[in-house]
Chain A
């Protein structure tokens, strides 16, 4: 499904946010905050930038999306269902016994999630492997890896950052969901990761910055990142954790707490 106007993309993002809230409300367990902060970025990727085919999930030429911050899979599941990878009904089974919609994305349950994640810090390495294989096979596909800003504290990420620039994986774009919150508090207070721009630059990356909720700008920067040759690109996206639901925005406790009935109704109203 291709959407070109940013108005349509914004509307789609609202729909996806509604699905995330409904899904988490039914499951009673899962992560709203980071799912909502990444929604606009993921909608721009899936409904505008990326090439794929829901009828052939493992189409060899598809662009790949690796959700390194795997706890935000409600956003991914909502998008995959909307695109027809599996029936929307399945969203109600999130985190329930025998559901393919595992609490953290599992490749063996849903191949379209591309890589099993959950334990933070591994996705960029997996993305590098996919990107390097694409070069070996002379494929044109592009690899996108979505990281959390707290996740940047994992040493594995920095090892992978060197791998990307060393091997010039210009067919890979990393996106950092910079919402400045993790579980124990603000990223800047738990353990500062900034200045990320300078750090990525000195590691040999092309760095873009964007407001992660401004569809027009997101679409533009994704285009630029794909075109950049000779080095890997990163988009540092300034976001708000819990974006779109007023009482969740910037509230650290909504990292991993689901809305109750009343909160669900209120959230859905706000997202109309």
Chain B
């Protein structure tokens, strides 16, 4: 069995380490510190942690104030609330002012499970990606989350980090070099390229493995950087494989699938099939059950591979 840890744990551990080397880092949370794991920072640096209560809009604008005064402010809550409830605060106080606020949304997507639709952000990438100055990162494992959390302090201006609640397999280690705007080829392949981000990365890898039996040679790319997207890598994979499948625990509108499709529309290199939710809200259930129902498991990905391969030129 592969080691597994949640990306939100990577956030908590990364932030607590960052606090040591960067005294200008402050953290804010909105009554979810135990869930987002910002509590790890709170325990080490109580004087630099600000519990804002159930007040996400207030929290995000307060973080902007810290950033306007020379701090690097990390503000966390569930992905649905930090991007949705506080949207105009993110848009104006954070992005328009282009300040050093790092927003961290945990419990993103269907993997959140039993809490149901209200708590399963399936549009947060879309919301954040459309804002000028905002960078969007969706880590694929614990270490990528931890390292990206620390790296975000070096990235000027607003950053959105999207984390998941559930434990997912570990692929990297502490030596991993996360670079904004760069994807990582996990498996090479010449028939189709599966480009994934976040929790479903494990199913993309599983799908590629299963496809070998059908003599389909699938590449798998982990694409943590949704904005800026690694367009060069996307084009390279499209040229090599001739067909692309995108996979994300998010709506097919506005997320990774849209970002990749935009590149393909401009370059005209390969057809794209998008795996994600299709204009629907989520619902209660266990994460893996929901992945099956909404086609985000390896069956769903294989299905998308077969469709897109039929469209290859």
Residues of A within 8 A of B (CB): 27, 29-30, 70, 95-99, 101-104, 106, 116-121, 150-151, 153-155, 182-184, 190-191
Contact = CB atoms under 8 A, between A and B. Distances in A.
A97 B285 contact: yes
Nearest to B119: A118
Contacts of B29: 184
Interface of B: 29, 31-35, 51-55, 57-58, 80-81, 84-85, 113-119, 283-286, 289-290, 293
Contacts of A102: 116-117, 283-284
Contact of A155 (B35, B55, B84, B290): B55
A97 B118 contact: no
Contacts of A121: 54, 85
Contacts of B53: 150, 153, 182, 190-191
Contacts of B58: 155
Contacts of A120: 54
A97 B51 contact: no
Contact of A183 (B31, B81, B290): B31
Contacts of B114: 27, 29-30, 95, 103
A230 B35 CA distance: 43
Contact of B54 (A29, A99, A116, A154): A154
A103 B286 CA distance: 11
Contact of B33 (A29, A96, A117, A184): A184
A29 to B, nearest CB: 4
Q: Which of B85, B116, B289 has the most CB of A within 10 A?
A: B116
A254 to B, nearest CB: 13
Nearest to A120: B54
A86 B168 CA distance: 37
A173 B120 CA distance: 31
A99 B118 contact: no
A192 B115 CA distance: 27
18 contacts: A95-B285, A97-B283, A97-B284, A97-B286, A98-B283, A103-B115, A103-B118, A104-B116, A118-B118, A119-B84, A153-B31, A153-B54, A154-B55, A183-B31, A183-B34, A184-B32, A190-B53, A191-B51
Contacts of A101: 284
A119 B31 CA distance: 13
Nearest to A253: B34
Contact of B51 (A70, A103, A118, A184): A184
B309 to A, nearest CB: 31
Contact of B290 (A97, A116, A151, A153): A97
Nearest to A192: B53
Nearest to B84: A119
B31 to A, nearest CB: 5
A122 to B, nearest CB: 9
Contact of B31 (A106, A118, A155, A182): A182
A30 B80 CA distance: 18
A119 to B, nearest CB: 6
A141 to B, nearest CB: 26
Contacts of A70: 118
B109 to A, nearest CB: 15
A106 B117 contact: yes
Nearest to A116: B118
A10 B156 CA distance: 59
Contacts of A183: 31-32, 34-35
Contacts of A155: 55, 57-58
Contacts of A97: 283-286, 289-290, 293
